[in-house]
Chain A
Amino acid sequence: EVQLVQSGAEVKKPGESLKISCKGSGYSFTSYWIGWVRQMPGKGLEWMGIIYPGDSDTRYSPSFQGQVTISADKSISTAYLQWSSLKASDTAMYYCVRHSTGAFDIWGQGTMVTVSS
């Protein structure tokens, strides 16, 4: 079965760092781009950026450039999304997605990140 399995929910304080993960299985992880999508509470989907695990080529939405870092470790079929200094406004559900033929065909279950003092 093709799937993306994300790391569990996180509760952090403002200013802390965080790295969440997304492990792919059931397909060739290095052959598909992996993206990240944010969904703030009660709000819509927002495109954050994408990485090609085969060569780590990475692109960011202008809205998220400089705010987060996307990386991947192809040896363990895992992509990451990280923050160096969290803000309360980073509180959201984060989904990793597999990119195929101009769409996102596989979605992770989501990782809820709560940032609160």
Chain B
Amino acid sequence: QSALTQPASVSGSPGQSITISCTGTSSDVGSYNLVSWYQQHPGKAPKLMIYEVSKRPSGVSNRFSGSKSGNTASLTISGLQAEDEADYYCCSYAGSSSDYVFGTGTKVTVL
């Protein structure tokens, strides 16, 4: 099972919106609405930001939103803030033979 493909880096200025893509296949992202997104600051454990494609856990800012079209999922961060600078990973269920697969990760830089 290959890792889902994400851009290596995305940047934006404070207040702008950015979108991170996560491309999989018809065996993972395209088949299940079980895409999640994680934020990881340096030296810290990852934190769940989005689950089931577009749902936000309690406590996560509504500036974070998720969507999916075909084999590609997306995470949008609106009103970019300095604290959003981190690595972001997508993850998808990939069926019972592999269970889960993570994305390659995207470094978000706030200019």
Contact = CB atoms under 8 A, between A and B. Distances in A.
Interface string A27-54: 0000000010100000011110110000
Contacts, number: 66
B84 interface: no
A102 B46 contact: no
- Tell me the dominant secondary structure on chain A's binding face: strand
Interface of B: 1, 3, 32-34, 36, 38, 45-48, 51-52, 57, 89, 91, 93, 96-105
Contact of B52 (A37, A50, A101): A101
A45 B45 contact: no
Interface residues of A, number: 22
B45 A108 contact: yes
B36 A45 contact: no
- Tell me the dominant secondary structure on chain B's binding face: loop
A61 B98 contact: yes
Given A44-B103, A102-B33, A102-B34, 8 more contacts: A37-B102, A44-B3, A50-B99, A95-B46, A102-B36, A103-B51, A109-B45, A110-B45
